[in-house]
Amino acid sequence: MFKKLKAGFESLKAGLARTHNAIMGNVEAVFTGESREDQLERLEEALILSDVGVAAATDIVDGLRARLIGNDPEKLKNYLKDSIYSILREVERPLEITNTPFVIMVLGVNGVGKTTTIGKLASKFSSEGKSVLLAAGDTFRAAAIEQLEGWGQRANCPVIRQAHGGDPGAVIFDAMRAAEARRSDIVILDTAGRLHTKVNLMEELKKVQRVAARELPGAPHERLLVLDASTGQNAVNQARLFNEAVGVTGIVLTKLDGTAKGGIIIAIARELKIPIRFIGVGETIDDLKVFDAKDFVDALI
Ligand SMILES: Nc1nc2c(ncn2[C@@H]2O[C@H](COP(=O)(O)OP(=O)(O)O)[C@@H](O)[C@H]2O)c(=O)[nH]1
Ligand SMILES: [Mg+2]
């Protein structure tokens, strides 16, 4: 058990290495540079470059300036950890499965990692003994349906689909009926993410939401938005857009492993205050972690 937890933390640490290096390189420099003020400014710059956001970076560094006494790198590290933790713990609210079937609608623009995240989630829930049903609601891209079927096979879950170009509302309708017949615990719905027809996409998502609610009041219980950490501040804008349209209840931040811009999680937490449910630190089935603010900060700093 302990071994497994430790391995989980190590892979989180490895995943966050690039952001860690971007921020911490400058923390070490804080004590080797010229004046204290220069050094703090350098740290502020590092935080901004890792996409923490200007407001958060300024707050954090102002806090450090007020609290720093003496020239102790360990103290600075601890202050920095505390400041970041106090922002992130506000959005640490793991997903709770409160209904049967519990319907999760997965949202996000193309390429952020929706289908991959669904595959990882399906495998996680299945391994916990829950029966999962997947619904191929991204009917816009032919490959998306096959991709979801591939994940369904790997996680051993049925996939409800229609032909490419079909109506996503009809897919969720079929999926809700199938979930009832099969007594599924969890339904996970994939959706399209083409953003060049923004208005149509949002209208389509609202329709899917209405179909789900008609079949089961309260569904979809979770509107889970997937954001790609490597897109930096863009991710915050996407979150605003989707939140206005469908009311996002949880966030998955993917691709933290491939970027030095992992600080975006702090901007997301501070500006949106939407729970961060999971983080993605790689492409394989085990690379989805339940978001834990303390582990995250420990791995980052
Ligand atoms: N490195 C890395 N790649 C990821 C992660 N999540 C998804 N991907 C990759 O991102 C690409 C797009 O993923 P996909 O699930 O098809 O995105 P969708 O268009 O939103 O459904 C694929 O190549 C995935 O393997 C992650 O956490 N880390
Ligand atoms: Mg997809």
Give 59-106 pLDDT, tens digit per residue: 999 988 888 766 677 788 888 899 999 999 999 999 999 999 999 999
Query: 146, 147, 219, 205: which is closest to 176 by C-alpha?
Result: 219
207, pLDDT greater than 80: yes
CA-nearest residue, atom 6 of ligand 1: 113
Burial of 143 (C-beta count, 10 Å sphere; 0-12/13-18/19+): exposed
Which ligand sits closest to the CA of 116?
A: 1
Helix (H) or strand (E) run with residue 253 in it: strand 250-254
Handedness of CA 70, 75, 81, 82 (dihedral sign): negative
pLDDT in tens, 248-263: 999 999 999 989 999 9
Q: CB-based contacts of 19: which residues, under 8 Å, 6+ apart?
A: 50, 256, 259, 260, 261, 262, 263, 300
Can you tell me whether residue 127 is helix, strand or coil? helix
How is residue 132 annotated by DSSP?
E
Helix (H) or strand (E) run with residue 254 in it: strand 250-254
Q: How far is CA 216 from the centre of its chain?
A: 26
- Average pLDDT estimate for 164-189: 95
Which ligand sits closest to the CA of 107?
A: 1
Residues with beta carbon < 5 A to ion ligand 2?
A: 114-115, 144
Q: For residues 227 and 259, what is the distance between their CA atoms, to the nearest angstrom?
A: 13
Helix axes 293-300, 73-88, angle to 10 degrees: 150
CA of 119 to the centre of ligand 1 (A): 11
The minimum-distance atom of ligand 1 relative to the CA of 138 is 21
Residue 214 is predicted with a pLDDT of 96
CA of 138 to the centre of ligand 2 (A): 7
What one-letter code names the amino acid at 246? Answer: V
34/115: higher pLDDT: 115
CA of 142 to the centre of ligand 2 (A): 10
Measured CA distances, 91 to 69, 100, 269 (Å): 30, 25, 6
Q: For residues 243 and 257, what is the distance between their CA atoms, to the nearest angstrom?
A: 25
CA of 187 to the centre of ligand 1 (A): 20
CA of 287 to the centre of ligand 1 (A): 11
Share of the chain above pLDDT 90, in %: 72
CA of 84 to the centre of ligand 1 (A): 27
Pocket probe mutation, ligand 1, options 242, 283, 287, max atoms within 8 Å of Cβ: 283
25, pLDDT greater than 80: no
> Which residues form the pocket of ligand 1, taking CB atoms under 6 Å from any ligand atom?
108, 110-116, 193, 254-255, 257-258, 280-283, 287
140, pLDDT greater than 70: yes
Burial of 253 (C-beta count, 10 Å sphere; 0-12/13-18/19+): buried
Pocket probe mutation, ligand 1, options 18, 116, 188, 255, max atoms within 8 Å of Cβ: 116
Measured CA distances, 32 to 26, 50, 79, 170 (Å): 10, 21, 18, 62
Helix (H) or strand (E) run with residue 104 in it: strand 102-107
pLDDT range class, residue 1, cuts 50, 70, 90:
very low
Residue 154 is predicted with a pLDDT of 92
Which ligand sits closest to the CA of 118?
A: 1
CA-nearest residue, atom 17 of ligand 1: 113
CA of 250 to the centre of ligand 1 (A): 18
184, pLDDT greater than 80: yes
Q: How far is CA 115 from the centre of its chain?
A: 13
The minimum-distance atom of ligand 1 relative to the CA of 112 is 20
Which ligand sits closest to the CA of 254?
A: 1
The DSSP result for 147-187, as a single string, is: HHHHHHHHHT--EE---TT--HHHHHHHHHHHHHHHT-SEE
pLDDT range class, residue 142, cuts 50, 70, 90:
confident
- Average pLDDT estimate for 154-160: 95
Residue 76 is predicted with a pLDDT of 80
Torsion, Cα of 156, 210, 138, 237 (10° steps):
-110
CB 254 within 8 A of CB 228: yes
The minimum-distance atom of ligand 1 relative to the CA of 147 is 16
Q: How far is CA 89 from the centre of its chain?
A: 15
Handedness of CA 83, 272, 263, 144 (dihedral sign): positive
How is residue 280 annotated by DSSP?
E
CB 108 within 8 A of CB 238: yes
